Structure 1
């Protein structure tokens, strides 16, 4: 991380040096005239530092780049007004060898290449340097030069580069694509007044560019609605999951072994992963997605939150895989030690996702372009998580098909070994498990592009399906669980007996649960 911060500082310093050099070039030509300026060694950026305009026969001195030793280096301006070529030892006092200087120039050349994808934190400096290059090369409109009309000058407002504009006209510029919430297909504008000066905001007294048109208000309201749907759905799911965990925990002793089997233990772990995941998503949508300032600052805590979300997402699918695997083992393999299987499930459900998320975070942190905006942008590194999730879904689909095949065989009336009541319950459980296994994702394999037809419908459908998945899991595996119902009824009967006869001895409920009963819901 320290090396990355240092690299950021070096690149930003390079961009600043280039911008400063272009400004010196323009200012000197304007101050002493084109002819006199041609007699000097011109302002020159060598990829590391900016050498200022210098008189022939003199040495120009520059401090080393800010990130290196704070000493000075010099360069000679020859009598013919040309700079002496840089030698291999020019930047040695700074602690930079010739290979280092060449590497800096290559990196800077890449950043300044047309169409290069640079991180947002460098983008403004790059835009400023490009604008100053244009200012240095551009000329006022011919009509202004011919008639002596004062025109609004080319300028950089911190976001965009504004061209020469005639009095009374309006200049337009594309909205910044790196600003969260801005639509890059829209245009900002800047008004040139009749006296040839840029319009000044009445409150600040400074030249003002109008970027309010960059925000698609209707689209912004729709995105806020989608965020609200996610927060509401995750909140409902979180409450339902916490209530389910309380029911499983509080009524474990009341129900005897019915709520103590491996199947219920897997349910509890699945609910716990869903509850934690939903809580993190609520925090994410409320404090990150809903706060543009946080996204722009890109603080470490929001990046860590992103990694935690990815870990819990993979953990969800891992425990879904464990659900399918256990059902398959219980109905097809049959003879399996539950305590041994459960230890493997803990490793698959909690430890394996942590390893995958750690590798994902490590790989993505080294791709500078993918470390912006709290890591909200799509990343090639996501395949490190997506591939295991897809494999788990395919495995669950196989388990589902095989379990249904076995159960239908045992349910056949001519079967020599018909399925008992517990396995019949498992048929219902298997059919209900389909959405739990993530097969519903197959129905929406492609996400429409922003503002494409059907994108709004997809976003709303996705918000409902994804955020309410935890609620559905709680309903199917807890609120509709016959063992939970039996535990609650036993607890109610116990309370009634206590009210009727407070001095009667307490007796626990009888337990007839078997391993087959644990296979079902």
Structure 2
């Protein structure tokens, strides 16, 4: 019963509904009967009928599967009327009790769609960052333990992996600590967390730039890599991003000091203080990539291999260099436009690429690195040999006194007697 209504009014309301509902149903049935039959058939037919949902099924021949548009609304939910529901007219001239509405799909509102895609993108982000962090930690330990492969090239790889680890770690800190209350409070520690995340984000780009510098120097300039020094790349990867982030933090403090320095206020462009250098090093890496592929193609043409193998190697080199030099990050600065499909594709592709970038770097620079694999294989064989020697020594120590020695002792005793 409805609260607050007097009993007399409730009785009047029930009487009105008991009168209106049959009248409405009768009108709907009359309309349904007035519809022409689905096929001009003079044999047995199923009479026009209205099901419980309110769909009208006109007269139809027996054995026929009739299609009718899905209801526009049902229990306040809107459905796609371009699809159909199906009901069979049975041989005895009656309609099947069950109507197949499986093709009728709910039309989600724009808000529901955006929430659904947002939640899926969040799941992709968490999954990608977890996988990337695990792979990066394994790669970090391998580079740390395998001292035999510690050359400048692998030191650059090691630092790039370290930068990705720190960035992934701060990403988790941001996700676990930043909530709407913290954003609105704009406390000092949350601004420092944002600054640290952006710093490690920039170091990723500059260490990728270091990778590009090394490859370009070795392949295009044919300059001896022995003359390159570790401190040069440390300055590029760790030192240069620091004043950039300090300048960005000062700009945020004076012009956009709100919401833990996430997002940006309209008309304020302080984020370009660190995004500008990132775009610049990406463009330079793109030039490096072009020159490297050009030189590789030239060398491949000069070789005696067949044309198919040449192009296969060139394509393989390009596919490997694209993610490693960070060219795919250029997509993060592209505006997907107002088209709904474009925005959805951009959200998913962006989430996947950004979160799994560390995993790809670990695979290409460590797990597929021939030097790393060879060193791991040698370590494994050495460990197996060491444990097999220990096992043989342990077995030898556990063997009882041999019969020969026992007989010799007994001979001495018999001679003494």
Query: What TM-score bracket applies, with the shorter chain setting the length?
Result: 0.5 to 0.7
Q: Which of 360, 363, 371 lines up with 2:257 in the alignment?
A: 371
- Once the two structures are TM-superposed, the CA of residue 427 in structure 1 deviates from its matched residue by 8.7
State the match for 2:132 in structure 1. Answer: 237
Q: What stretches of structure 1 of length at least 5 have no aligned partner? A: 1-214, 416-423, 505-521
Give the 5 Å matches for 1:13-412: 219-220=114-115, 222-252=117-147, 256=148, 259-288=149-178, 291-336=179-224, 338=226, 340-367=228-255, 370-378=256-264, 379-412=268-301
- Once the two structures are TM-superposed, the CA of residue 355 in structure 1 deviates from its matched residue by 0.7
- Once the two structures are TM-superposed, the CA of residue 472 in structure 1 deviates from its matched residue by 0.7
For the 8 Å contact 1:235–1:282, the answer to whether it is kept is no
For the 8 Å contact 1:364–1:371, the answer to whether it is kept is yes
TM-score of the superposition, structure 2-length normalised?
A: 0.60
User: Aligned pair in 2 of structure 1 residues 227, 450: CA closer, same or farther (>3 Å)?
Assistant: farther
- Once the two structures are TM-superposed, the CA of residue 364 in structure 1 deviates from its matched residue by 1.7
- Once the two structures are TM-superposed, the CA of residue 450 in structure 1 deviates from its matched residue by 8.7
Q: What stretches of structure 2 of length at least 5 have no aligned partner? A: 1-109, 305-311, 393-417
- Once the two structures are TM-superposed, the CA of residue 494 in structure 1 deviates from its matched residue by 0.8
The count of residues paired between Structure 1 and Structure 2 equals 273
- Between the aligned partners of 1:266 and 1:425, the Cα distance in structure 2 is 24
User: Aligned pair in 2 of structure 1 residues 345, 396: CA closer, same or farther (>3 Å)?
Assistant: same
For the 8 Å contact 1:332–1:406, the answer to whether it is kept is yes
Q: Which of 423, 447, 451 lines up with 2:335 in the alignment?
A: 447
- Between the aligned partners of 1:382 and 1:312, the Cα distance in structure 2 is 15
- Between the aligned partners of 1:483 and 1:329, the Cα distance in structure 2 is 21
- Between the aligned partners of 1:280 and 1:451, the Cα distance in structure 2 is 33
1:434 aligns with 2:322: yes
User: Aligned pair in 2 of structure 1 residues 244, 414: CA closer, same or farther (>3 Å)?
Assistant: closer
SS of equivalent residue, structure 1 residue 468: helix
User: Aligned pair in 2 of structure 1 residues 461, 350: CA closer, same or farther (>3 Å)?
Assistant: same
- Once the two structures are TM-superposed, the CA of residue 485 in structure 1 deviates from its matched residue by 1.2
State the match for 2:15 in structure 1. Answer: none
User: Aligned pair in 2 of structure 1 residues 343, 218: CA closer, same or farther (>3 Å)?
Assistant: same
User: Aligned pair in 2 of structure 1 residues 411, 337: CA closer, same or farther (>3 Å)?
Assistant: closer
- Once the two structures are TM-superposed, the CA of residue 336 in structure 1 deviates from its matched residue by 3.6
- Once the two structures are TM-superposed, the CA of residue 487 in structure 1 deviates from its matched residue by 1.1
Higher RCO (CA-CA < 8 Å; seq separation 6+)? 2
For the 8 Å contact 1:319–1:349, the answer to whether it is kept is yes
User: Aligned pair in 2 of structure 1 residues 502, 430: CA closer, same or farther (>3 Å)?
Assistant: farther
User: Aligned pair in 2 of structure 1 residues 493, 312: CA closer, same or farther (>3 Å)?
Assistant: same
State the match for 1:22 in structure 2. Answer: none
Q: Which of 345, 350, 364 lines up with 1:462 in the alignment?
A: 350
TM-score of the superposition, structure 1-length normalised?
A: 0.48
Q: What whole-Å deviation, never above 9, does each CA across 1:431-484 have from its counterpart, x for those lacking one? A: 402122222234464334799553233222211110100011101111111111
Q: What whole-Å deviation, never above 9, does each CA across 1:213-241 have from its counterpart, x for those lacking one? A: xx956644543443332222112111110
- Once the two structures are TM-superposed, the CA of residue 430 in structure 1 deviates from its matched residue by 5.3
- Once the two structures are TM-superposed, the CA of residue 283 in structure 1 deviates from its matched residue by 1.4
Larger Rg: 2
Q: What whole-Å deviation, never above 9, does each CA across 1:170-224 have from its counterpart, x for those lacking one? A: xxxxxxxxxxxxxxxxxxxxxxxxxxxxxxxxxxxxxxxxxxxxx9566445434
- Between the aligned partners of 2:261 and 2:338, the Cα distance in structure 1 is 18
C-alpha RMSD of the superposition: 2.8
- Between the aligned partners of 2:365 and 2:373, the Cα distance in structure 1 is 11
- Between the aligned partners of 1:360 and 1:444, the Cα distance in structure 2 is 20
- Between the aligned partners of 1:285 and 1:317, the Cα distance in structure 2 is 22
- Between the aligned partners of 1:304 and 1:446, the Cα distance in structure 2 is 28
Higher helix share: 2
For the 8 Å contact 2:218–2:225, the answer to whether it is kept is no
For the 8 Å contact 1:299–1:374, the answer to whether it is kept is yes
